[in-house]
């Protein structure tokens, strides 16, 4: 469900690794579906969700986070009992909670997931068979999710190339606020705070720092709103470090400033290029 960067890459990985007999792309836009099929990311396409999932062994929901809860309900009403459903949403708590609210009446089995392989690029054309290779997918079971379902979902995300971590949805949302959602706000703020007359005096540093600000505003607004409390906490941690650096600057305290920049460099170097 969804044939963009993530959904298209799932399709390409399934096709190229021969992991599925049929790969059906489901979406609302006939043009995107046609583009996905031309690019070989799916074998069949349909705009009819119920028909698309009716015979599926596995359904992967790869749309913006705001659409996922309602889609899960629609999918669940159309699948065969016991069908495994997973998603690729950038936030997890509210999506998993939505499923769990009606766990007892569900036909399918849902285990939320987040392949950390986003990009400011979008659409079927951005898809790649190796998008997940060397990347992490966080699988986020609810307390009531059977271990067997967690394992099957993890096996799927490992089969398309990613390294799987399993953690509760809230832990995921807290960590991703720090590594993705708050940095997105900051990148956007740096871009927006740069006076237009300064643009021609930017170099690689500015372009790197602000790159993700080119991401889709609607998709990102939904991600940020869905994780607002953790995003706010991360932003306040970033603001606190910035304030320390600013205080050292204003006091002309070179030693303190160097030590803050050194600590930041160590944190950055620990991750790699």
- Using CB under 8 A as the binding rule, whether residue 191 contacts a copy of itself is answered as yes
29 is an interface residue for a copy of itself by CB under 8 A: no
Question: Is 136 near a copy of itself (CB under 8 A)?
Answer: yes
Question: Does residue 201 bind a copy of itself (CB under 8 A)?
Answer: yes
Dihedral sign, Cα of residue 105, residue 108, residue 109, residue 115: negative
Phi-psi region of 178 (alpha: psi -120 to 50; beta: other; left: phi over 0): alpha
Closer to a copy of itself by CB, 143 or 267: give it. 267
CB of 175 to a copy of itself, least distance (A): 4
Q: According to the binding rule CB under 8 A, does residue 134 interact with a copy of itself?
A: no
Question: Any contact of residue 110 with a copy of itself (CB under 8 A)?
Answer: no
Indicate the SS3 state at residue 256.
helix
Q: Of 34 and 136, which CB lies nearer to a copy of itself in the complex structure?
A: 136
| Strand ranges, E, within 94-156 | 109-115, 136-140
| DSSP structure class, residue 82 | T
Per-position x/- string for 141-170, each x denoting binding to a copy of itself as judged by CB under 8 A, each - no binding: ------------------------x-----
What CA–CA distance (Å, rounded) separates 156 from 139?
A: 10
Instruction: Decide whether 160 or 187 has the Cβ nearer to a copy of itself.
Output: 187
CA nearest neighbour of 64 among 231, 220, 227: 220
| Residue (57 or 243) nearer to a copy of itself, CB | 243
Instruction: By CB under 8 A, tell whether 128 contacts a copy of itself.
Output: no
**Identified binder of a copy of itself from the candidate list 64, 123, 168, 183, rule CB under 8 A:** 183
Please state at what angle helix 182-193 crosses helix 228-250, rounded to 10 degrees.
50
Of residues 15 and 136, the one with the C-beta less far from a copy of itself: 136
**Contact between 246 and a copy of itself per CB under 8 A:** yes
- In angstroms, the CA 211 to CA 134 distance is 22
Measured torsion, CA atoms of residues 9, 11, 16, 17, in degrees rounded to the nearest 10:
100
Instruction: Report whether 191 contacts 209 (CB < 8 A).
Output: no
Find out whether 67 and 218 touch, Cβ atoms under 8 Å: no
Contact pattern from residue 205 through residue 244 relative to a copy of itself, giving x for each residue in contact according to CB under 8 A and a dash for the rest: xxxxxxxxxxx-xx-xxx-xx--x--xx-xx-xxxxxx--
Give the residue with the Cβ less far from a copy of itself, 54 or 239: 239
């Amino acid at each position: 469900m969804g044939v963009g960067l993530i959904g298209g890459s799932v399709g390409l990985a399934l096709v190229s690794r021969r992991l599925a007999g049929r790969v059906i792309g489901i979406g609302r836009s006939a043009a995107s579906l046609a583009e996905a099929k031309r690019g070989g990311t799916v074998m069949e396409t349909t705009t009819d969700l119920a028909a698309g999932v009716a015979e599926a062994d596995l359904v992967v929901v790869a749309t913006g986070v705001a659409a996922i809860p309602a889609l899960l309900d629609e999918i669940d009403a159309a699948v065969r009992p016991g069908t495994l459903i997973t998603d690729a949403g950038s936030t997890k708590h509210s999506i998993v909670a939505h499923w769990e609210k009606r766990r007892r009446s569900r036909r399918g089995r849902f285990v939320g997931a987040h392949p950390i392989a986003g990009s400011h690029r979008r659409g079927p054309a951005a898809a790649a068979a190796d998008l997940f290779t060397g990347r992490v997918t966080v699988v986020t079971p609810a307390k009531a999710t059977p271990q067997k379902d967690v394992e099957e979902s993890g096996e799927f995300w490992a089969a398309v190339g990613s390294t799987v971590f399993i953690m509760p949805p809230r832990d995921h949302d807290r960590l991703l606020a720090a590594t993705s959602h708050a940095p997105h706000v900051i990148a956007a703020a740096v871009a927006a705070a740069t006076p237009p007359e300064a643009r021609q005096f930017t170099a690689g540093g500015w372009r790197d720092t602000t790159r993700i600000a080119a991401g889709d505003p609607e998709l990102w607004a939904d991600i940020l709103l869905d994780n607002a409390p953790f995003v706010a906490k991360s932003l306040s941690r970033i603001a606190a470090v910035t304030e320390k650096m600013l205080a050292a600057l204003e006091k002309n305290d070179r030693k303190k400033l160097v030590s803050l920049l050194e600590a930041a460099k160590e944190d950055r170097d620990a991750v790699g290029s």
